[in-house]
């Protein structure tokens, strides 16, 4: 349908513009004589296509207004939800917007409902009604009404009393605006007029339309954030804590339902540490989503990185709205009755669930998983598998450009904020400490640290340069030590705040850590040594509820470590004459494949299964688990 194609284009245009929409909020619709086509729940305006709109029987929607409404709000909303689901054609085609009844009431063919901060600076202001009457005399102002069935019923009563043509602009106090017209061009013109008029009003009042931001003070955050993360979690999962890059003044009360569903009604000021979270939970009955640290830093709390970033996005928008209300007498916050209705509303809980993202139901879902050497090869394969099952993956690599590209590709495949990148040279203590600081500020802590980064220099003990020996040892052996030294305190702090929660360190070792490797002493020695470290770390860190294990893979023949045409092991082994009689790289590869009883090299998926096995175990630490296709078997 041409009209829906046009509406989809307009919806995407508004949805992609942060001046109009945050976190995909808002609704759009188009009417024919007997059908209402409306954006469904779970689809963002920025992404909607013409065939995403749900068709609804207009007569079935109108039946709502003749129904006997239960007095109890919960029962009333349940009735409306069921009636709206029954109006969808064909049945079960999707979940329509909760505001479908209100869209149906508007006489015009097109409706675009948005919540721009500039508009909510007026709708959420103490003097909003008077300002609206002065600036927009052709508009309808509606005092705050609980969204859903109650709002639809009240709007119907207002429209029934209107003589003549319906207003094209409806401002809803502490909510947003509905604009209706018979053409999208007219709606665009109306929105342009509204935004220009309000921009001029803010300029005259000397109120900036850009959120005022300050620098973040991060002193002391490394110690307190992991403890806050533990306090906010449970024995099965800890949330992600994302620190905003620039600080701002969060809104001090509930302004709109859209802000509340993502960021809750009030921020939690952290002055005494985790105790402040417990006091907040006792007061409100739930844990906070926005933390305001004593140094001014603002932290978003979510079940994964996408949700935590969404909290910060909503908090920034609410902060801007509160800032803008200063032009019109200051903020008008929702009262406790209004607030509690939103907090307990099933529809808003559904929206929050959709916004937070979903993933496979596995032990890694939502966990912060760091993979050193994660930009390519085995590390990238492991990271890819973790992202696929819903983990938050951090690609830590010395080659930050490649890591950023890899993270971008994972996000494109598995959803925004599935992966992030951080630069690290694991052989440099300062670099490792900076990596851990970045992890804490980005995610709040670490659940699974995979020490995968490693190097190899092959050669005879008679000829191997000392520099090569020291390079391999510094990266493989000392680098593992430095990573555990840096990450263990973070894990210990978050675990101490959440008794019953365990975290994991898994070192990617090698079959060469279980048996010697001819003309490969530097590598095998470093891998034997790190199994000793794993056992020692496991004995020490078990009191912090940190399990430490190693996975010892067989050869990943298809990865760059082996197959790189210039520096790969196949080339190195050919040059060092490690394989007697080998004349080509293919000869070397065939020689090593023949050593594996299962006839192939190891794949990242094989190692990932071993990692997930070890993390799922509640009675396993200090182990070196072979994944070698039978090439190495333990006694």
> Active-site positions?
523
Query: What sign does the dihedral 558-562-564-565 (CA atoms) show?
Result: negative
Tokens of 27: 């609704």
Look at residues 56, 51, 162 and name the one whose alpha carbon lies nearest to residue 103: 56
Assess contact for 321 and 124: CB atoms under 8 A: yes
CA distance 243 to 289: 12
Tokens of 423: 């630069």
Look at residues 233, 104, 188, 177 and name the one whose alpha carbon lies nearest to residue 493: 233
CA distance 264 to 312: 11
List the alpha helices (DSSP H) in 63-113: 73-87, 100-105
CA distance 95 to 101: 13
3-state secondary structure of 377: helix
Assess contact for 381 and 331: CB atoms under 8 A: no
Chain mean position to CA 424? 23
CA distance 242 to 298: 8
> Phi/psi of residue 55, each to 5°?
-90, 135
> C-alpha angle with apex 447: 504 to 226, nearest 5 degrees?
120
3-state secondary structure of 452: coil
Distance spanning both ends of the chain, measured CA to CA: 69
């Amino acid at each position: 349908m041409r009209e829906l194609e046009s509406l989809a284009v307009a919806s995407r245009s508004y949805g992609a513009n942060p001046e109009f929409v945050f976190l995909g909020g808002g609704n759009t619709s188009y009417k024919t004589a007997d059908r209402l086509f409306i954006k469904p729940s779970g689809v963002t305006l920025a992404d909607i296509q013409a065939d995403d709109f749900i068709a609804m029987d207009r007569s079935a929607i109108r039946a709502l207004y003749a129904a006997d409404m239960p007095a109890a709000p919960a029962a009333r909303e349940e009735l409306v939800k069921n009636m709206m689901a029954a109006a969808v054609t064909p049945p079960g085609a999707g979940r329509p917007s909760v505001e479908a009844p209100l869209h149906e009431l508007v006489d015009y063919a097109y409706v675009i409902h948005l919540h721009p901060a500039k508009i909510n600076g007026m709708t959420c202001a103490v003097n909003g009604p008077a300002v609206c009457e002065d600036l927009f005399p052709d508009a309808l102002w509606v005092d705050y009404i609980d969204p859903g069935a109650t709002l639809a019923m009240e709007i119907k009563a207002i429209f029934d009393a209107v003589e003549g043509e319906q207003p094209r602009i409806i401002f809803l106090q502490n909510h947003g605006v509905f604009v209706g017209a018979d053409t999208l061009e007219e709606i665009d013109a109306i929105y342009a007029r509204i935004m220009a008029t309000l921009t001029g009003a803010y300029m005259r009042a000397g109120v900036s339309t850009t959120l005022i931001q300050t620098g973040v003070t991060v002193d002391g955050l490394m110690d307190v954030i992991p403890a806050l993360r533990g306090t906010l979690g449970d024995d099965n999962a800890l949330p992600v804590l994302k620190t905003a890059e620039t600080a701002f003044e969060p809104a001090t009360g509930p302004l709109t339902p859209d802000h509340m569903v993502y960021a809750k009604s009030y921020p939690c000021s952290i002055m005494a540490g985790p105790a402040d979270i417990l006091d907040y939970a006792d007061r409100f009955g739930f844990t906070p989503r926005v933390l305001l640290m004593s140094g001014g830093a603002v932290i978003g709390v979510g079940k994964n990185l996408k949700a935590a970033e969404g909290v910060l996005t909503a908090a920034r928008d609410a902060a801007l709205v509160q800032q803008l209300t200063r032009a019109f007498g200051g903020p008008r916050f929702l009262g406790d009755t209004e607030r509690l209705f939103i907090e307990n509303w099933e529809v808003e809980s559904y929206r929050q669930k959709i916004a937070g993202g979903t993933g496979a139901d596995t032990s890694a879902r939502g966990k912060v998983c760091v993979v050193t050497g994660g930009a390519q090869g085995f590390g990238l394969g492991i990271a890819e598998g973790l992202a696929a099952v819903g983990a938050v993956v951090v690609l830590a690599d010395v080659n930050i450009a490649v890591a950023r590209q890899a993270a971008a590709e994972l996000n494109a495949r598995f959803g925004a904020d599935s992966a992030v990148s951080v630069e690290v040279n694991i052989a440099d203590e300062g670099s490792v400490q900076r990596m851990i600081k970045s992890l804490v500020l980005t995610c709040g802590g670490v659940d699974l640290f995979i020490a995968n980064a490693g190097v190899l220099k092959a050669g005879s003990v008679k000829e191997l340069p000392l520099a090569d020996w020291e390079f391999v040892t510094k990266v493989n052996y000392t680098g593992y030590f430095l990573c555990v030294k840096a990450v263990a305190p973070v894990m210990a702090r978050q675990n101490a705040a959440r008794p019953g929660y365990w975290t994991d360190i898994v070192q990617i070792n090698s079959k060469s850590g279980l048996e010697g490797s001819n003309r490969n002493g530097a590598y095998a020695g470093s891998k034997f040594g790190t199994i000793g470290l794993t056992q020692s770390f496991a004995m020490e860190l078990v009191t912090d509820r940190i399990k430490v294990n190693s996975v010892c893979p067989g050869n990943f023949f298809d990865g760059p470590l082996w197959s790189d045409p210039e520096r790969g092991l196949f080339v190195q082994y050919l040059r060092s004459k490690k394989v007697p009689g080998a004349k080509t790289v293919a000869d070397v590869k065939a020689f090593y494949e023949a050593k594996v009883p299962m006839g192939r090299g190891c794949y990242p998926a094989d190692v990932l299964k071993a990692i997930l096995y070890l993390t799922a175990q509640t009675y396993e630490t200090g182990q070196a688990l072979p994944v070698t296709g039978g090439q190495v078997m333990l006694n």
